[in-house]
Chains A and B, each alone.
Chain A
Amino acid sequence: MVSKTKIRKKHNASMPAIKRWLIGALVLSIFLSLAGVVALDYVVREKFEGKKWSIPARVYARPLELYVSKPLRSQSFEYELSRLSYVQVERLTAPGQWLKNSREYKVFSRGFDFIDGQEKAKKFSLKIESSRVSKLESFSGEDLALLRLEPLEIGGIYPNHPENRTLVSLLDVPPLLGETLIAVEDRGFVSHYGVSPKSILRAALANIRAGGVVQGGSTITQQLIKNFYLDSRQNLGRKILESLMAVSLELHYSKAQILETYINEVYLGQSGAQGIHGFGLASQHYFGRPLIELNSVQIALLVGLVKGASYYNPWKNPARALERRNLVLQIMKDGQLLTAEDYNAAVRLPLGVVTRSRKKLQPYPAFLELVRRQLLQDYEESDLKTEGLAIFTTLDPQAQHQAEKSLSQTLNTLELEHSLTKGGLQSGLAMLALGSAEVLALVGDRKVQYSGFNRAIDIRRPIGSLVKPAVYLAALGEGYSLSSLISDAPVAVRGPDQSVWKPRNFSRQSHGDVPLYKALASSFNQATARLGMSVGLNLVESTLQASGLERSFAVVPSLLLGSLELSPLEVASMYHTFAADGFYTKPRAIRSVQTPQGETLKRYALRSERRFPSSTIYQLNYALSLVMQDGTGQRAKLRNEAEQRVTAGKTGTTNNQRDSWFSGYDGDQLVSIWVGRDDNGITPLTGSTGALRIWADLMSNTPGRSLTMAKPANLEYYWVDSVTGNASGENCRGARLLPFELGQQPQKKSRCEWRKNPVIHWWRKVWQN
């Protein structure tokens, strides 16, 4: 028999074991919990203090420079103001506003920190007359020599994950926004420690009274934890985790820091594949305005979206969005953030969001693709997508807009005129600023918003007669002059493979001996081929390379008539060297790259190098201006011009008219255009009837100055006979004024048949002088 003592001892022995186990388990639990809390705390701090978001690079257009005599049309100026979201008002009260009295504009500009200094916000008056700025002065009447508006943001380079945001600091946020957020989402924000049982209860009661969700139970801190650290799964364990992390956040960071992060984190909509996060970007997306310029009604709409950006989408569900906005306005009134009078006026207002067509955040896909490629030469793609860099580009929004319009409308017109299948023609266009070779506009597709194949930079099509200026430039450097006679008789060239190449003129007619300038102006193939073979293919090759061509190409006789294949941007680069007095400047789309803090990381500096002597280039440009006066470019009569400006250019047409080209310029800009079919099919278009039409429409709607060039000191003008090339006189029949290098002018005199009575001619000259 077991004694009671033994039973008691046995009982006493097992009790301590259970107790020890329980105590051990409790200690372990406490230890694990503490470890968990420490780990959570670490996670919270590490992400909050580290790089919070992958911020895409922001891309900006060129700032509009204003000064007296600048070519500018009223509609272009208003277009620029509209794109910058300047509001037309009755009276200027804040930056971002403008008004018009008769023909004078009054503007309150926003100001911007440029790389070379700050442009402060200011009020100024501007007048435009005859497509030029005629007056620019401050409101105090002081003449302003130079002024620039802030650059337009035109897009970004986005991270792989589909979030987009514009970071704002609390300084950039209207105080009313923060106050409204707190009133709507978390009234106890200022006093709680991350979690607020009172808020949960209050929200529940408010929702029951209102019969709908008017208040959330989660604090702003908890919402931030959910969006920033966790996901949207809802269960008890997740809620506990969220609460612990919220408390940890509140222990380490101030209310201002938490609110600022929330303002930049919260999801507020969608733009295609990109999520719109943060109020900074949402302000642009819905209203096209910077956040600091929003009024109370606009703020109410945005705050209302926090509850459900898709559900309250103002474009898809306007009625619901309006109701939600007005509810927020009610809360603002109840919280004395809005007066009763303002509330009554506000609820009657429409939503006021931008139209759907304006809300695309990537409007210039062809140009942005060029920017991206140029950046990738210097940066890793991951840096571009995540570091929030600011990219300042050369794009001119006015020129881009007009280029897109001219291209798409003219193609439609051409298809109608020639009874072609709608949409069958395609085009690519590159526009450069003369002198700097900055890319002002780039169009890669007739559907201008399409971000697919970029015909401005990626097509490779034979350029046809567009190559001829290089042939004639080579000849001018070898002792030829513009009046040198060359034969336009039929020509046969034997190639290295013994095949015989027999180029023919477009008209199938021969013209005998013709002066060099006429062969170029009329684009005679036979004369050009003969001239090119005479100066040598190697020299033509080196001329093309000196003009800026980086691509390799076959050096064969057909090169002389443009068998080499280029893109519109490459053609523009080549012609820019001709137009810019023989100086080569590599086209660039970027001016500088800065960090989000404004520090300059890289400048894409201007660099020009003389490639051709000024005398030969001047003569070439004279001949190319004759193309527009008398030759294949003469159809390009620019509209909207009291006096036609001087331009220069060249048409190009390939075999069977598969490619229609034109490259031409005035004193300010150069445009190169290709028109054709993607399937390389035949078209009824020549360079003159196709691409030139787009060019003429674009230039008619783009103000610019006449082409002028400094005449080199070793060049003079002489009258020559247009048939024989011999010396002639102004009053002689068939005479033409041409520039010659000194010593190259013709010595032999031609027979002169007077055009007018010489005495009257002399008399008139005396009075003219």
Chain B
Amino acid sequence: MKVALDFRASRVLMLAFACVSGACSVTPVQVEDATPSSVEAETSINRSAPRVLSPAKFENDKAKAASDALLQQAYEQYDQDRWQRAVHMAERGLRIDRYNARWHLLLAKCYSRLGDGKRAQEFASQGLAYAPSGKTSLRKDLQALMMGTKP
């Protein structure tokens, strides 16, 4: 039994060796592109091309410190019922960090307080598009505002 296994293993290894050695003699194939005006053929097929939208996980790394500091100030205004001022600060925050759903949440809350339910729902909907997936309190609050209820 042990001899049979050893023989099988050695055949696999030999096969693997043959494949590897065979690969050394294979040159990369030039891929033709149907578009005559395309760039160098090898890069025209998107494998890790930097110039197209990346399928990698979306990372929101924009200006986190600035955004966080401003968010704190904006919520101070909100807590003092200065909703218009909070709206202005939230728009400023979005200019810095437009994918940060916490700004959309603040805007939705402000407009809800200001009696503009439609606008509150619009911002809540947009925030949901950008909020990280999963059952987070952020998503829960945005969903509530989108339904027209208070979080």
- A646 with B55: in contact, given A68-B65, A630-B39, A759-B23 (CB under 8 Å)? no
Docked complex Cα distance between A706 and B49 (Å): 13
| Contact B129 A614, beta carbon cutoff 8 Å | yes
Q: A757 an interface residue at 8 Å Cβ cutoff? A: yes
Query: Is A17 close to B, CB under 8 A?
Result: no
The closest CB in chain B to the CB of A731 belongs to: B47
A634 contacts B37, C-beta separation under 8 Å: yes
State the majority secondary structure of interface residues on A. Answer: loop
Bound CA span A711–B52, Å: 13
Binds B, one of A87-95, A332-340, A433-441, A526-534: A433-441
Could you say which of A610, A705, A708 contacts B58, with CB atoms under 8 Å apart? A708
Q: What residues of chain B lie closer than 8 Å to A760, measured between beta carbons?
A: 20, 23
Q: Which of A610, A708, A723 contacts B34 (CB 8 A)?
A: A723
CA gap between A514 and B88 in the complex, in Å: 48
| Chain A residues with CB below 8 A from B13, complex form | none
Does A622 have its Cβ within 8 Å of any Cβ on chain B? yes
Question: Which chain A residues lie closer than 8 Å to B73 at the CB level?
Answer: 117
A residues near B66, Cβ cutoff 8 Å? 67-70, 145-146
For residue B28, which residues in chain A have a CB less than 8 angstroms away from its CB? 755-756
User: For the complex, what is the distance from the CA of A363 to the CA of B84, rounded to whole Å?
Assistant: 32
Given A710-B130, A759-B19, verify A522-B52 contact (CB < 8 Å). Answer: no
The closest CB in chain A to the CB of B68 belongs to A145
B95:A435 contact, CB within 8 angstroms: yes
B66, B73, B85, B92 — which one has the most chain A CB atoms within 10 A of its CB? B66
Given contacts A116-B88, A521-B35, contact A646 B51 (CB under 8 A): yes
User: Does A759 lie within 8 Å of B51, measured CB to CB?
Assistant: no
Would A514 and B34 count as touching, CB distance under 8 A? yes
Q: Does A384 contact B (CB under 8 A)?
A: no
Question: Does any Cβ of B come within 8 Å of A413's Cβ?
Answer: no
Q: Determine the chain B residues whose CB is within 8 A of the CB of A706 once the complex forms.
A: 50
Which residues of B (37-77) have their CB < 8 Å from a CB of A? 37-39, 44-47, 49-55, 58-59, 61-63, 65-66, 68-70, 73, 77
Question: Which of chain B's residues has its CB closest to A717's CB?
Answer: B55
Contact A737 B46 (CB under 8 A): yes
- B55/A711 in contact, CB under 8 A: yes
Is A511 on the interface with B (CB-CB < 8 A)? yes
Residues on the A chain within 8 Å of B85, using CB: 115-117
Chain A contacts with B in 696-711, Cβ cutoff 8 A: 705-711
* Contact of A116 (CB < 8 Å), options: B51, B68, B89: B89
Residue from the list A632, A739, A759 in contact with B20, Cβ < 8 A: A759
* Chain B CB within 8 A of A733 CB: yes
Whether, in the assembled complex, A608 has its beta carbon less than 8 Å from a beta carbon of chain B, the answer is yes
**When chains A and B are docked, how far (Å) is the Cα of A146 from the Cα of B63?**
9
Question: A605 contacts the other chain (Cβ, under 8 Å)?
Answer: yes
Are B52 and A625 in contact, with the CB atoms below 8 A? yes
**B residues 17-42 with Cβ under 8 Å of A?**
19-20, 22-23, 26, 28-29, 31-35, 37-39
Q: How far is the CA of A668 from the CA of B33 in the complex (A)?
A: 31
A474 to B51, CA, bound (A): 25
Which residues of A are found within 8 Å of B123, using beta-carbon distances?
608
B94 CB contacts on chain A under 8 angstroms? 435-436, 606
Give 1 or 0 for each of A607-637: 1 = CB within 8 Å of chain B CB.
1111000100010011001101111101000
Nearest chain B CB to A104's CB is how many angstroms away? 19
Given known A-B contacts A709-B58, A710-B129, A710-B130, A759 and B16 have beta carbons under 8 A apart? yes
> When chains A and B are docked, how far (Å) is the Cα of A414 from the Cα of B18?
59
- Which chain B residues lie closer than 8 Å to A404 at the CB level? none
CB-based nearest A residue for B125: A610
Would B51 and A629 count as touching, CB distance under 8 A? yes
Are A737 and B54 neighbours in the complex by a CB distance under 8 Å?
no
A289 within 8 A of partner (CB): no
A145-B68, A730-B47, A733-B29 given as contacts; is B88 within 8 A of A708 (CB)? Answer: no
User: What are the residues of chain B within 8 A of A625 when measuring CB–CB?
Assistant: 51-53
B residues less than 8 Å from A116 (CB atoms):
77, 85, 88-89, 92
Contact indicator B119/A607 (Cβ below 8 Å): yes
In the bound complex, what is the Cα–Cα distance between A734 and B122 (angstroms)? 43
Give min CB distance, A484 to chain B, whole Å.
16
Q: Assess whether A713 is interfacial by the CB under 8 Å rule.
A: yes
User: A302-341 interface mask toward B, CB cutoff 8 Å, 1 = contact, 0 = none?
Assistant: 0000000000000000000000000000000000000000
A647 within 8 A of B: yes
A518 interface contact, C-beta 8 A: yes
Of B22, B38, B50, the contact of A644 (CB 8 Å cutoff)? B50
CB of B137 within 8 Å of the partner chain: no
Decide if A647 touches B87 in the complex (CB within 8 Å): no
**Which residue of A is nearest B49, CB measured?**
A629
Verify A755–B29 contact, CB threshold 8 A: yes
Task: Decide yes or no whether A100 CB sits under 8 A from chain B.
Answer: no
**B122 close to A711 (CB less than 8 A):** no
Beta-carbon contact of A607 and B122 below 8 Å:
yes
CA separation between A717 and B47, bound complex, in Å?
A: 12
Q: Which residues of A contact B61 (CB under 8 A)?
A: 69
Judge whether A603 and B52 touch: CB under 8 Å. no
Query: B91 an interface residue at 8 Å Cβ cutoff?
Result: yes
Note all chain A residues with C-beta closer than 8 A to B16.
759
Given A145-B68, A605-B91, verify A69-B63 contact (CB < 8 Å). yes
Asked if A574 CB lies within 8 Å of chain B CBs, one says no
B12 at the interface (CB under 8 A from A): no
> Does B96 reach chain A (CB closer than 8 Å)?
yes
A522 touches B88 (CB 8 A): no
State the CA gap A608–B125 with chains docked (Å): 10
Q: Which residue of A lies closest to B42 (CB)?
A: A755
Q: Which of B29, B87, B122, B126 has the most CB of A within 10 A?
A: B126
Given contacts A145-B69, A709-B58, A734-B31, 9 further A-B contacts (CB under 8 A): A436-B98, A583-B126, A610-B122, A630-B33, A632-B37, A646-B53, A707-B53, A710-B129, A722-B34
Can you give 10 contacting A-B residue pairs, CB < 8 Å? A67-B65, A435-B98, A438-B95, A609-B122, A610-B125, A734-B45, A755-B31, A756-B28, A759-B23, A760-B20
A-B pairs with lowest CB-CB distance, top 5 = A757-B23, A145-B69, A67-B66, A435-B98, A717-B55
